[in-house]
Chains A and B, each alone.
Chain A
Amino acid sequence: AQTVTQSQPEMSVQEAETVTLSCTYDTSESNYYLFWYKQPPSRQMILVIRQEAYKQQNATENRFSVNFQKAAKSFSLKISDSQLGDTAMYFCAFTVVFGNEKLTFGTGTRLTIIP
């Protein structure tokens, strides 16, 4: 069974600073995808970034980047130049390629950007 662990229930950072959210996962599979989703107060789940496990290069999307360490089964999200609109719950998620299409989510990190 796959599990995803987010060990930081809450974090806060000053606007314009950089923050890193941690995520670890456990799987015996070698081919999988990893995701970070954002859930603002509006409740909508929004995809932030995805990473294919076979790629060594870390994914980036504008101010968002990941540090993917496959051997350590770690997948952290870095937000640079944080903005007030980044305030949200952030969920790490995982799915196995050619598996049951199920997204397994972590418990989330509540991030607050302080003006």
Chain B
Amino acid sequence: DAGVIQSPRHEVTEMGQEVTLRCKPISGHDYLFWYRQTMMRGLELLIYFNNNVPIDDSGMPEDRFSAKMPNASFSTLKIQPSEPRDSAVYFCASSLGGTSGGVGRDTQYFGPGTRLTVL
């Protein structure tokens, strides 16, 4: 299996621009997660989906952030407008099932991340 695929790997943009990050989960995985990693806040969950439906978006920092999952093999995280404080590494992860789905099915596999720099 190819693993979780994210694009782009690096993104540099100017403040005020729209940024779209993309993720392809592992085939057959029902859960998809978006995390953000910064020096100040560490790794934090932004939002997660189950069977393409957003379940918990309480970690999304503000209305400038939005995420969609139009089908089982694709998700986007959009920031509009972007700000310098959004600079971070954004990870996508997927799992077969949740913690109620049987031991091991909840293990989250991470993509390589997208390093976003907003100037």
Contacts and interface: CB of A to CB of B under 8 A. Distances in A.
Q: Is the interface of B mostly helix, strand, loop or mixed?
A: strand
Q: Is the interface of A mostly helix, strand, loop or mixed?
A: loop
Interface stretch (A12-20, A63-71, A78-86, A91-99): A91-99
Interface residues of A, number: 25
B71 interface: no
10 residue pairs, one from A and one from B, having the closest CB atoms: A45-B110, A105-B43, A97-B99, A101-B98, A102-B45, A43-B113, A44-B112, A98-B100, A107-B42, A100-B56
Interface of A: 33, 35, 37, 42-47, 50, 52, 91, 95-103, 105-108
Interface of B: 31, 33, 35, 42-45, 48, 50, 55-56, 89, 91, 93, 95, 98-100, 103-104, 106-113, 115
